[in-house]
Structure 1
């Protein structure tokens, strides 16, 4: 009689399946255990029994030449595959994976992605050639295939509303007293029938069936090999869906033919921490479960040696619910938790369940602990039902160097990856704060955005930074991708920054890279980017780009004393860039379209502020001279002229008669469009400034009052647009201020008493405000 392997059809991450599987393995005592999974994971199985391996964990398989092409194989402590590995390692039995190699699946994924891109390009070309703009394939698409869930079919036959509920009652919350082997035999019969029904109903496309058949061909090959190598029983742990496929009688030649000539890529495999959130179905994980937190609680019932029974099981869950509610400030007493546990048990009895399920537990919590209010339960839902656990890897497990260095940095900085978003405030004057900041900045440079700066002033390199931290297991792929840049976080960040600098478009991007390298304490990368920036500035004629490059560099020099900076080189670079800006801003401000003029104004405002902070009197004087020349340049773009005149007024460099004359020149005889653009830039800013600045306000008022009716009507929409930046209160106060009329200044100046303390502090105040001596 032909020997057959024992096929144990499980549900991925099902605690009931895991408990049944453990019982089945104990009863069968197989000589060999085979598990559905990529064969490259065989080398990683031995680490599963190490004491430092704390699920949830995942095997990460990624293409050696393209780390972004990756796939995870997650495991929780209640996953049947994890339990199978633990059982085999504890009993000294051979254990290996039998699914198709990740080398094949990743190669096919890459090919499919490239084919989709090529198809999109072909379609775009066809649409371009089709002059009437109609889609040549419109109306020719086939009706989409409706995917039928075999569990839903079984659930319908058994009188359940959906497959999830059916499986949970039958398997995950089992208590029928049947032997595990009998239950798995029943699963095999039911799932084989459901699979056949799906095939007859056309519930899967030809491509999907081909994929499944290829995977099962690989599995059958490994099962045949195991039956030849081992005289004892062979246990095969697979998804219940595959049981019927593996029982299909095929020849070796047929299985080899269907997998012949499949593409492959070189694959690297390692362990990576996973999380409860990524185990959940809500994360988009196809094999996810609705509530990892609940399934962990179920597993505690099945795996405990105490056998406390459903009463303790319900009490622990409701006590946890009450504790979380109290943490959120809600009144949840111990007596209410006891009542909730009793209610859950009563609901389970009424519904024919041996232990309360998630629905019974939730209904009981809602009634007894939340008094029917959904809001308190919703506030703890993620922590209670999903969970917030992130796995840990034993120190003895070989990892890729970047992942190992990442863990060392986490220990040094005492930062622990957590999926729940949290905020940390860093004082860069302390060694601990500066170390954490450096670490997070370096991670951002290699594309691992664990931390995000959320404080407005943090980007200026002050002594204070506020970060928002939220870890995702997908960031492990980012670490794998960054491996091409170096063996450590520091090496990778430096190399990635330099490479990005060599490929940067525009010197503003290079300036940001210089800033990023400096705050990440990468002096060599910063020096390399400074050299690239200097070379690019020589060839760059875009004044806006040059202005945008100055501001971040000045902020670093001005505020970056918490870090070691190449200050002489930075100052020389800022000076060189500023000289180029000052020399070319007038000619470069001619013939600008609306978008270019808008970008120029933003850049001029930032550049003007930066020069004030930089503190070079010669550069500042030349910049202000250029502003005056721009006001008198008839070819300069109107918004640039408006900003320039306004800035000269704000700095009190021009008196009222000169300001009024320049204002009139830009308005009188000009088209409403140009005049409106000038006005919009001239009055931009805070309404409060306009209210307090009598000269500015009544200059505009006199202009409006002097317009004839036709010009006024043409100018009104443009003027209204200029005022849209002011809120309703600001506009109302402006009207009240105009109605009050111009107030004459007193002829006699106010007498200011001498204040020696103020006189001593005045030089420092001027330096802080970035003002010259003649500004007072």
Structure 2
């Protein structure tokens, strides 16, 4: 009986090739792999024809699906190679890591497990020390061989001992690009085991329970009568598993663990982007796309990689010729030679691409890093993989609509007049209700309310979201309806209910809409807070204006909306008085939103009620200047007051008797609608110029920030135009100055002294002398 330990680096193509060679040489009768034992029943699916990496094992607690962990596998992951080899040859395969159900039991319900999965916590996916080098480097911690405050990164320690400053580069040289020589794969694993033993002498392990459970699993395999056992695990664990020893200490240690909780496991698609360090994955790698290329390229690795770069650049209309590729290949080989490397690595290839194909610029290289070095591949799992009914219904809908997830962010524009596009839109809105934000609404490039733009970005974590949402129903429609009704029932304010109403109409959830409409009518009848009513109106107005595009019945909302407008109009002037600056800013936003909502309703009676309310806001004594000015501007834009009336009100607001700060707030309300008012009305500009010039020095520093805030909302060309007009006010008619008269501050004598020089520069001197004769 022999137990062979294959210490690997997770997601390493060199380790994957070595594992494949070692298994072919060993011909084991049992394969034990570091992974969650809860997923043992899913191992046969690894050989399914429809299973395409990258994929991940998902394990979650039945009582609280938010406590979940992912174990990702790429095509170049050593564990994946061992899975496929064992299943393909009929050899028993099992996972031997500590059951994740123990970890879930240590976390109170409703909280995330510390060792949970991707975006549900950190570390359940291969949290060995060799996977932490880049995290330590980013924190500025220099790894040492003989010192370890915590757990030294063994790969960084070995790299430093070999004279490398980059652990990734050392591993790539020694293992990932290991040329076939006199050493066999088993010899390489023996050497790695010796190195790990030396490192562990200075780095006490922190995963004693995990290693104890692995030893127990090895004992069980030996007891079952297996003669050739292969164990695939993180390299750091190899010394701890090399000597099995007595079982009693391990049994005692494991007995102290809390009681396991019930869990469920399944396979889910994964992406190369989620294998990278920058995604936050604890066992991530810098370049999953490059590693996939290393593992799958049959020969001429550099040439094939540069061909991919050329294809990418040409798709982006960037010029790349055959001469570029030849020169880049030569440069990569030369750099490898100068740096003492047997073959060009990613560093050399990247330098060559940036120098030859990118002209030294970083922008094209960012495209290469995102699309190729990291990559956007999205894996696939078989349709018969066990999932919750909600996820199965979503997959069915995606297939029916030919709307399958794609890697990376994708833009989609839907024409709601087409049945298929309409169904896609409804599906995306329903998923957003469930918290599965596959699509985010974007600005449509076209015109018309029948077009809808989405930014689609499918994330692997949505598998957990679907499990969590399964409590609401077994189909997307029923689950979204139930959750929408619950959101409306628990909404603290009226606006929350109207938002749900709008969402239900967009998602076409009639079963949820009827009871929510009754709730809306009841809450609207008893809510006396004008702010709550104003916040609720915009969603209703949008629904009434655009609901007919989707063929939905919005007649029941009209009565509620009309009632809200009347109540808002009656109470708005009073609600705008006695506010501080922050309260005035919030009420100004409600004023704008309500004004826009009334316009969407397209109801003359409602508009008349609203304009009457704004007239009261503009005329009311003691009204905050910001709101009074804003009401004046909206009335002017709606042609309810003319230019003369605006000039009169502005002249009154900017009189010396009004405090400068209050006048500045009034200006902010009037001018925030755009700069065209000042550009096209020199009278208003003159009033503003004279008021600014007359602000007392002791008040100017208090007013200046308000003015800057107002003018900062204007575009740069608009500000320049206003400045030019203000500079030319000497020749423009200004309020209180007769036509042809000199503007205040204009010195005619100084201007006359400059005229001869101007005439000479313009060549007008001779003509002037002839005219004088």
Q: Which range, TM-score by smaller chain?
A: 0.7 to 0.9
With 168-177 and 17-26 compared, the bigger mean Cα shift is at 168-177
Q: CA deviation at 1:343?
A: 5.4
Q: CA deviation at 1:336?
A: 4.1
- Residue 667 to residue 689, structure 1, CA distance change in 2 (3 Å): closer
Q: Does residue 1:260 correspond to 2:259, yes or no?
A: no
Q: Secondary structure at the match of 1:87?
A: helix
- 8 Å contact from structure 1 (residues 427, 434) kept in 2: yes
Cα distance in 2 between the residues matched to 1:179 and 1:607: 76
Q: Which residue of 2 aligns with 1:70?
A: 68
- Residue 586 to residue 232, structure 1, CA distance change in 2 (3 Å): same
Q: Which residue of 1 aligns with 2:766?
A: none
Q: Which residue of 2 aligns with 1:681?
A: 669
Q: Which residue of 1 aligns with 2:85?
A: 87
Query: TM-score, structure 1 length as denominator?
Result: 0.81
Query: TM-score, structure 2 length as denominator?
Result: 0.82
Q: Does residue 1:27 correspond to 2:22, yes or no?
A: no
Q: Does residue 1:276 correspond to 2:264, yes or no?
A: no
From 543, 560, 574, the counterpart of 1:587: 574
- 8 Å contact from structure 1 (residues 37, 99) kept in 2: yes
- 8 Å contact from structure 2 (residues 66, 112) kept in 1: no
From 427, 434, 445, the counterpart of 1:446: 434
Q: Which residue of 2 aligns with 1:166?
A: 170
Q: Which residue of 2 aligns with 1:472?
A: 459
Deviations 1:752-773 (A, max 9, x none): xxxxxxxxxxxxxxxxxxxxxx
- Number of aligned residue pairs: 696
- 8 Å contact from structure 1 (residues 530, 573) kept in 2: no
Gaps of 5+ in 1: 117-142, 200-208, 305-309, 745-776
Q: CA deviation at 1:351?
A: 6.4
Q: CA deviation at 1:357?
A: 3.0
From 321, 324, 328, the counterpart of 2:316: 328
Counterparts of 1:92-107 in structure 2, within 5 Å, are 92-107=90-105
Q: Which residue of 2 aligns with 1:184?
A: 189
From 488, 491, 510, the counterpart of 2:478: 491
Q: CA deviation at 1:598?
A: 1.4
Q: Which residue of 2 aligns with 1:740?
A: 732
Counterparts of 1:68-467 in structure 2, within 5 Å, are 68-108=66-106, 145=149, 147-174=151-178, 175-199=180-204, 209-210=205-206, 212-263=207-258, 264-301=260-297, 310=299, 312-338=300-326, 340-341=328-329, 344=332, 355-366=343-354, 369-370=357-358, 376-455=364-443, 462-467=449-454
Deviations 1:20-57 (A, max 9, x none): 11221122221211110111111111111110000000
Deviations 1:125-168 (A, max 9, x none): xxxxxxxxxxxxxxxxxx99354211222223334334322322
- Residue 540 to residue 674, structure 1, CA distance change in 2 (3 Å): farther
- 8 Å contact from structure 1 (residues 461, 560) kept in 2: no
Deviations 1:403-460 (A, max 9, x none): 32332333333334334223222222222322222222222222222222221799x9
Deviations 1:545-577 (A, max 9, x none): 312221222122113322132311111121121
Deviations 1:559-610 (A, max 9, x none): 3322132311111121121122122112222222221211112211221232
Counterparts of 1:32-71 in structure 2, within 5 Å, are 32-71=30-69
Q: Which residue of 1 aligns with 2:722?
A: 731
Q: Secondary structure at the match of 1:84?
A: helix
- 8 Å contact from structure 1 (residues 694, 742) kept in 2: yes
Q: Which residue of 2 aligns with 1:532?
A: 519
Deviations 1:613-645 (A, max 9, x none): 312222222222222333443254333333333
- 8 Å contact from structure 1 (residues 153, 194) kept in 2: yes
- 8 Å contact from structure 1 (residues 523, 565) kept in 2: no
RMSD, matched Cα: 3.4
- Residue 666 to residue 5, structure 1, CA distance change in 2 (3 Å): same
Cα distance in 2 between the residues matched to 1:371 and 1:654: 60
Q: Which residue of 1 aligns with 2:545?
A: 558
With 89-98 and 611-620 compared, the bigger mean Cα shift is at 611-620
With 431-440 and 576-585 compared, the bigger mean Cα shift is at 431-440
- Residue 418 to residue 719, structure 1, CA distance change in 2 (3 Å): closer
Q: Secondary structure at the match of 1:67?
A: coil
Counterparts of 1:507-522 in structure 2, within 5 Å, are 507-522=494-509
Q: Secondary structure at the match of 1:731?
A: helix
